[in-house]
Amino acid sequence: MAGAASQFLFHSSPRTAIRPSRASAIRAGGNNNNGKETGEIRVCTNRTCRKQGSFQTLEILTGIAPPSVSVNSSGCLGRCGAGPNVAVLPRGLIRNHCGTAAQAASLMCESIGASSADVANTLEAFTIRKRAEAEMEKGDFAEAEILLSRAIGLKPFGGLHIMLKFRFVC
Closest CA to 3 of 98, 131, 92, 63: 92
pLDDT digits (tens, 9 = 90+) for 34-85: 445 558 999 999 999 999 999 999 999 999 999 999 999 999 998 888 989 9
The CATH code of domain 5-112 reads 3.40.30.10
Residues whose CB is less than 8 angstroms from the CB of residue 76 and which lie 6 or more positions away in sequence, other chains included? 16, 44, 46, 49
Backbone angles phi and psi of 109, in degrees to 5? -60, -50
Inter-CA distances, 146 with 54, 71, 79, 82, 143, Å: 31, 28, 43, 40, 5
Where residue 90 falls among pLDDT bands split at 50, 70, 90?
A: confident
Residues whose CB is less than 8 angstroms from the CB of residue 3 and which lie 6 or more positions away in sequence, other chains included? none
How do the domains of the chain map onto residue ranges?
A: 5-112, 118-169
